[in-house]
Amino acid sequence: MSPDLLQSIGSNAWSVFLIALFFGGSVFVHELGHFLAARRRGVHVERFSIGFGPKIFAWHGKDGVEYRISWLPFGGYVALPQLANMGAIEGGTKTDVERLPPISYCTKLIVFAAGAAFNVLFAFVLACVVWWVGQPTSADFNTTRIGDVLPTITLPDHTSVPSPAFEAGFKPGDIVRAIDGHAVANWPDLQQTLFSGSGRSADGRPKAVFTVERGGQTIELTVYPRLSGDERLRHIGIAPAEELVIGTVDPTQLGGRIGLEPGDRITAYDGIPLLSRDDFLEHLEKNHTRQIRLAVQRGTGQVMLTVPARPDRPDIADLGIRRQTGFMLIFPTPIAQIQDNAVMTFRLLAGLINPQSDIGVSKLSGPLGIIRIFNATAQSDIRLVLWFTILINVNLAILNLLPVPVLDGGHILFATIERLRSKALPADFIMTTQSVFMVLLFSLIIYVSFFDVKRWVRDVRADAAENSAPAALESSPAATPATPAGK
């Protein structure tokens, strides 16, 4: 068996283990919250299941509870016949509910909300770990400074049009402070805020107002995004400012001969701030017949170096340098991590229900999409797995508290209606409503899974193309992948 095959098997096994541990663990923690709260409040627990549908295997504990693993890994449940009649979903009950004592409204609220509370608690514990060990990210992502304003963008029908940012007057070096009044802290935050925006012009076009810092002055730029990219999201045609940090230098090549050293950061060329590596490479190629002055940050100081004229060799490979990606660790507090993920979730939900938004159900991810991202993070850095697990648990907490039948929030809604009317809702009504919404939920999962598969196939093809394509200014072997986009 070849070493590459062994490495592939080991890598996949590691991914499966982390997915089972953190994704399955998130579902387990949620149901454990219900289970412990029910036991604490004296509620009869009939079954504790991870997954829905027929059981794979099960056993009965000394406490009389049936513990099982079921075939459909889309969640889990704790069967509480005193609180909710979920026989159509969870299977029939052997408990004579009529002989059990009634449950108070307060107990119902505590038990139903405990799952979400445990997800938040689990997220907080993991966020403390991330606060301690650090969250990997890219310096290119940890900024809101614009590095490049694209002259055109490509629409889904493959036509090129002037980019909205170019038409609105954006310039390289601009620092984006807010979009539509929402402050942005980094590039993923900027993208998320733009994607979920709901602004519209009088004629119905997508619209966004950027608050930008330029040369110490704060200005507002109104831009009309276009829907582009594989996901047909709002784009305006900007890219983040990039750094060029030298990873290794071949002393026999031009870069070594002019004095470049590992760790140097090229900040400017011919007086032009280096905000885009592509622009820098293009400048070197176009001006190969003359000298080019480089401003280089070395430690706490700055040195000036000269690239000599290269009339016969314009290609950048002559420099003989390999760049180091701007990998860095950030240490956000646990509260900040949970707050940021909660804000992201609420923005997505607001976009889904706002008819002015361009966010649709097809932009959501189901279990396959979650596994896809877990797999990607597991292949790169376990700290990214922790980061994504925090996001998943915050999502689970918020989504489960929505007042939708089948979800915990739906149970709370029914319990509250019964409390207000001082009378139980008809059992047939509850069972029918729960069954209908369960069918809708599984239909939604199947629908979004179709798009998850398309994204997964697209990722595989992109990785294959990237691995086969040669790269100028290659990354240092020690570079760490950037934080994946979320959601």
- DSSP annotation string for 316-359: GGGG-EEEE--EEEE---HHHHHHHHHHHHHHHHHHHH-TTS--
335's CB contacts (< 8 A; 6+ apart) are 127
Are 99 and 30 members of one domain?
yes
Task: Give pLDDT tens digits along the chain (487 positions).
Answer: 555 545 555 668 888 889 888 998 999 999 999 999 999 999 989 899 988 778 898 999 988 899 998 887 767 888 888 887 655 455 556 666 667 888 899 999 999 999 999 999 999 999 999 999 999 988 788 899 999 999 999 998 889 999 999 999 999 999 999 999 999 999 999 999 999 999 999 999 999 999 999 999 999 999 999 999 888 999 999 999 988 889 888 888 888 999 999 999 999 999 999 998 888 988 988 998 999 999 999 998 999 999 998 887 766 656 788 887 667 889 999 999 999 999 999 999 998 899 899 988 888 888 889 999 998 899 888 999 999 999 999 999 999 999 999 899 999 999 999 999 999 888 888 888 988 998 999 899 999 999 999 998 988 887 777 666 555 554 443 333 333 333 3
Q: Is residue 150 part of a domain?
A: no
Are 390 and 282 members of one domain?
no
Domain boundary among 325, 354, 376: 325
Are 412 and 314 members of one domain?
no
Contact of 103 with 110, CB cutoff 8 Å: no
Are 316 and 406 members of one domain?
no
Are 419 and 321 members of one domain?
no
Cα–Cα dist 335/351, whole Å: 24
303's CB contacts (< 8 A; 6+ apart) are 259, 296
Domain that holds residue 250: 244-325
> Within the chain, how many helices (H) and strands (E) appear?
13, 20
Alpha helices in 134-196 (DSSP H): 164-168, 187-195
Q: Is residue 482 part of a domain?
A: no
Q: Is residue 438 part of a domain?
A: yes
Are 300 and 403 members of one domain?
no
Q: Is residue 181 part of a domain?
A: no
Are 307 and 393 members of one domain?
no
Q: Is residue 332 part of a domain?
A: no
The CATH number linked to 307 is: 2.30.42.10
Are 316 and 423 members of one domain?
no
Q: Is residue 230 part of a domain?
A: no
Q: Is residue 278 part of a domain?
A: yes
Are 320 and 390 members of one domain?
no
Are 408 and 292 members of one domain?
no
What's the angle, vertex CA 143, arms to CA 137 and CA 144, rounded to 5?
A: 140
pLDDT digits (tens, 9 = 90+) for 12-63: 888 888 988 899 899 999 999 999 999 999 998 989 998 877 889 899 998 8
Are 319 and 431 members of one domain?
no
| 213, containing H or E segment | strand 208-214
Q: Counting Cβ atoms within 10 Å, is residue 143 exposed (0-12), middle (13-18) or buried (19+)? A: buried
Q: How far apart are the first and last CA of the chain?
A: 38
How many domains is the chain built from?
A: 2
Q: Is residue 161 part of a domain?
A: no
